Copies of this chain bind each other. A is one copy, B any other.
């Protein structure tokens, strides 16, 4: 069901309306009146006749006209009854301010489940609970009680009222921009993040979506919708609770479990979301992305009127992965012709005092630089805006002239300009002119660099956009009867852990190259199997009760002679029985010894927010120590399997470092895809580990595999 009735309501009942100035039920009505809400307000409070000149109703059912939406400011325990009354009245939207639900523990969770079921029954779409409120600034519907929130084209979703306040203040103080909507998402009891996303994607007045998230309940759906959204408009997101203390802090007030930070970041980025870590950069990134064309070639020029800032900007942009290419010879010549001889006409360009008496030279230089096909965007750093203040008043008019020219240049060439100005805090008029053209202006070099950086990052994403990428599963679509049978048997025995040979059998059903193991119950069988599968062989104990085979003396390697195999079989059985006398020992696995190669690992597990994720990395002792691993939310595509492999440092080893023959990357890529298929086929699987996987010059071998099922089927 659409969110229109709640986000675009024309009539609002304020339940819990009050005459007490410090109460939310008063503030909301006063703000709606002050800000000239275009619709109708119905205060509801059995104890009052009128509030702020509006008739007050004893209950929602007694309002004569239809009501779209209710703002409910009463305490948690009153909500189920009030929601029911709203539903009976035909109200289709609700904003529930009260805390005291999921975020306070078990009892609150029950109350939250109760209000969800009331809302579902009456087809009410519900924002919150535990929210600071909502605003539709296009209709002047401000249910938060804050004044002077700037209107504009950015939609804001936040799980912290203070963060929302900070972002609104920043828009007002540092830009000419503002917001189309604000939603305090709260506990996501009913409406989820991805539903807001879809609403804002379709809203023609929203150019960018700005988010502060601590945890989301349907991460995978969010990714799917985000990926559809980011091809049309940018999403800028800061995730709170990356650290364990941060998670603890987040848990204390939104009631959602924060996810694994690395998985979340990778997943968001893959969906084209611009992930921000420093809150100072959050609003500026949204301002920039909602106003300017993105950078098409990850390459920019820096234009400076002094050394230090250009140097630091080059350092910061290098950290951000943005390229600063050489300028074309033609550009260099043209710059030489207009700048003093001491100027640097390479990138970064330093005008060396050339603009001191004529700041319109900035526009001339910008024109040359934006015309250069090596250059996708321009960062100007230094004093622009301050020439009229520092040198002579008349220069201010020249700066205004330059601002108009540069603004028009951005539109004509579809290449962005970002401006850093040391004089930003003095608010010269020329800087507001720049902003009028959508050019963000900051006094902070860090922030200015990040602004140009996100334009490059968004351009990089759009350049490689692949419309078919998917984030949701076709659960069970490719399940095999044999696989289901293995899982059924394991369940039947009351186990959750598959035995090694069961796991391998399941994997081999999906084409994964596991070693050809056989389960031998006697030494004779072991010898016979060894002949079949080819010597030398490795022997390993098989028992559902022995998880750590080596500790039990249950692993012996590299036997070719018949007598050695017999000795090894007997030795293993003896050790295992000594180690765990009551263990259910099924026999000994006989496997061929693996050819040499590079040891890697592949694993999957279930993330709280995003569901199944896959990990790939260098194996052996290195995985624990060097943590050279890549994560992805499943399913993975060909392209993403390739990227995963390429983003680990060990990729250079795979690729044949120091002139060695490269290892078989294509077989490894295939294995990642097949793992994705296995997880998609059997929703029962909780986690899966293939460790080690040996990558050869030709093919791979999965030497050991472990699969654990969810504890409840």
Contact = CB atoms under 8 A, between A and B. Distances in A.
Interface string A262-303: 000000000000000111100000000000000000000010
Of A250, A314, A346, the most chain B CB neighbours within 10 A belong to A314
A347 B246 CA distance: 10
Contacts of A652: 624-625
Interface string A346-371: 11101000000100000000000000
A314 B205 CA distance: 35
Interface stretch (A4-12, A162-170, A586-594): A162-170
Of A169, A245, A305, A621, the most chain B CB neighbours within 10 A belong to A245
A697 to B, nearest CB: 16
Nearest to A624: B657
A307 B649 CA distance: 37
A656 to B, nearest CB: 11
Of A161, A446, A447, A650, the most chain B CB neighbours within 10 A belong to A446
A257 to B, nearest CB: 13
A173 interface: yes
Contacts of A357: 22
B308 A212 contact: yes
Contacts of A324: 245
Given A99-B342, A649-B625, A422 B162 contact: yes
A472 B162 CA distance: 52
A312 B391 CA distance: 42
B383 A162 contact: yes
A311 B169 contact: no
Interface stretch (A42-50, A112-120, A234-242, A601-609): A234-242
A677 B459 CA distance: 53
A664 to B, nearest CB: 18
Contacts of A249: 302, 304, 307, 310-311, 314, 344, 348, 350
A658 interface: yes
Contacts of A711: none
B307 A445 contact: no
A474 interface: no
Nearest to A625: B652
A248 B346 contact: yes
A301 B625 CA distance: 31
Contact of A312 (B240, B253, B319, B653): B240
Contacts of A302: 249
Interface in A573-621: 621
A309 interface: yes
A446 B280 contact: yes
Nearest to A307: B253
A391 B22 contact: yes
Given A307-B253, A318-B244, A444 B162 contact: no
B422 A169 contact: yes
A604 to B, nearest CB: 23
Contact of A246 (B104, B173, B314, B392): B314
Of A302, A312, A626, A652, the most chain B CB neighbours within 10 A belong to A312
A159 interface: yes
A289 to B, nearest CB: 20
Contacts of A391: 22
A304 B657 CA distance: 51
A319 B279 CA distance: 14
Interface residues of A, number: 79
Contacts of A259: none
A350 B252 contact: yes
A464 interface: no
A73 interface: no
A639 interface: no
B309 A163 contact: yes
Contacts of A627: 649
A407 interface: no
Interface in A131-159: 158-159
A318 B245 contact: yes
B624 A649 contact: no
A632 B650 CA distance: 26
Given A422-B169, A621-B653, A254 B162 contact: no
Contacts of A278: 316, 446
Contacts of A104: 342
Nearest to A652: B625
Contacts of A347: 245
A240 to B, nearest CB: 4
Nearest to A238: B312
Contact of A252 (B162, B307, B624, B650): B307
A447 B443 CA distance: 14
A626 B651 CA distance: 10
Of A279, A302, A627, the most chain B CB neighbours within 10 A belong to A279
Nearest to A308: B160
B658 A621 contact: yes
Interface in A400-454: 422, 425, 444-447
A671 B649 CA distance: 29
A315 interface: yes
A446 B350 CA distance: 30
A382 interface: yes
A522 interface: no
A425 to B, nearest CB: 6
Contact of A165 (B350, B422, B445): B422
Given A22-B391, A252-B307, A624-B652, 15 more contacts: A162-B306, A162-B383, A163-B308, A166-B422, A173-B425, A243-B318, A245-B348, A246-B315, A246-B318, A248-B348, A252-B346, A279-B445, A280-B446, A625-B657, A627-B649
26 contacts: A22-B391, A104-B342, A159-B308, A160-B306, A161-B308, A162-B306, A162-B383, A169-B422, A212-B308, A214-B311, A240-B315, A242-B315, A242-B318, A243-B319, A245-B318, A246-B315, A253-B350, A278-B446, A279-B312, A280-B446, A621-B653, A624-B652, A624-B657, A625-B650, A626-B649, A626-B650
